[in-house]
Amino acid sequence: MGKKKTVREANRTGGLDNTLIFSAIGDVFIGGTVRLIGGRTVASDEQLGKKAFDKVLPYFHNSDFNFCNLEGPLANRGELQPGRSAALRGYPSMVEVLKKARIDFVSLANNHIMDYGWEGFAETTETLRQNGIGFSGGGKDIEAARRPALVNKNGMTVGLLSYTANVNVPLGFQAAQGKPGLAPVRISPFFSPDHTNKEDLEALQKDIETCLEKVDFLIVSFHWGVSEGGTHTIALHQQSIAHHAIDAGADLILGHHPHAIQGVEIYRDKPICYSLGHFTFAYFTAKEGFPKETMLFQCRISPHRIHEAKFLPAFISKKGQPEILSPDDPKGSEIVVLMKKLCSDLGTKLVVQKQTGEIIFKRAAPSAPTKKI
């Protein structure tokens, strides 16, 4: 009996049966406290938080790799940082939710992960390590913050690099030599359009080129865009950063922070998810009027290739629990119609697979020009 081929070897000969499934969701904040303006603290239900993913677990369990953006520390330690109008801190026990959903790696590069300082961040990374969950986007210094998370399954190594464009709120979240913090791609209206920091883009491209030597498939995650109230509008810097990342060799771009789903662009045959929305966000979803429409993004992958990209519409209940909807469901249909419009603006069309409830992303036409944002 011959030796079993690895995924890399099988796909060199077109063995599509050996592709793996990658699943991604956006912002996740499960249970904890939200400190609001005026010092008012609102506690969420820890036991209810532990059930946050219960209705969607089969989708994660049928996937080979699972990702989310962990929006806020899982910690008891740390002090509330100055300048925060709203600070998030989840119960450390909420790591059980990630583990139950078989989340393989998370992005920590966002504007809430250091709300309780380096102590809260360090406790979070310690908890993730103890539970076998990879992370990227932050660390004890800039070198650690730019280090990828690596996950190997079935002979295939997938890497995750993570960055945030929101390091300046408050000042001090950015990592540097000898200083803990987050991996940045800074933006400012004072930079010339596309409003991005050129040195950070050069560092991003170098990180990608270095990481490609270690992985079969590279994902780059960005916390970017505009979040106020939840918006479907893509900011100028998002498209520029995404194109730079793919030009450097990234295989898939995952965006989050706007608190609303945004369109998906197919650029050089690589999907750019401009915003996956939030998948569960304790307190804010029910109280603050952010959109409750979201999605589960999935794709079939082999080394440096995506064979199919799709999404499943989802809706977040008042209890903060996301549930996958059929495209025939009235609310599911609304999400599909919205995504068709958002994707059309980016030269992407959607094909609804009614038998599975999946919606496939395809380029509208090979010659269709990409609409500039």
Least trusted range by pLDDT, from 42-51, 110-119, 253-262, 302-311? 42-51
User: Pick from 249, 314, 343, 352: which is nearest to 52 by CA?
Assistant: 314
**CB-hemisphere CA count at 13 Å for 13?**
5
- The mean of the pLDDT values for the chain is 90
Q: What is the pLDDT of residue 55?
A: 97
- Residue 56 forms part of a structural domain: yes
Alpha helix segments (H runs only) across 178-313? 198-211, 236-248, 284-287
How many domains is the chain built from? Answer: 1
Longest dimension (CA), the chain: 70
- Residue 50 forms part of a structural domain: yes
- Residue 193 forms part of a structural domain: yes
43: pLDDT strictly greater than 90: no
Q: Which residues span the domain enclosing 123? A: 22-363
83: pLDDT strictly greater than 90: no
Q: What is the pLDDT of residue 242?
A: 98
Q: What is the pLDDT of residue 286?
A: 46
- Residue 270 forms part of a structural domain: yes
- Residue 373 forms part of a structural domain: no
- Cα angle 244-245-246, degrees, rounded to a multiple of 5: 95
User: Pick from 110, 168, 166, 171: which is nearest to 136 by CA?
Assistant: 110
- Residue 15 forms part of a structural domain: no
CA distance linking residue 256 with residue 128, whole number of Å: 21
Question: What's the pTM value of the predicted model, to 2 decimals?
Answer: 0.93
* Confidence at 152, pLDDT banded by 50, 70, 90: very high
Check which CATH number belongs to the domain holding 43 and give it. Answer: 3.60.21.10
CA distance linking residue 68 with residue 167, whole number of Å: 19
- Residue 370 forms part of a structural domain: no
Average pLDDT over residues 289-299: 92
- Residue 8 forms part of a structural domain: no
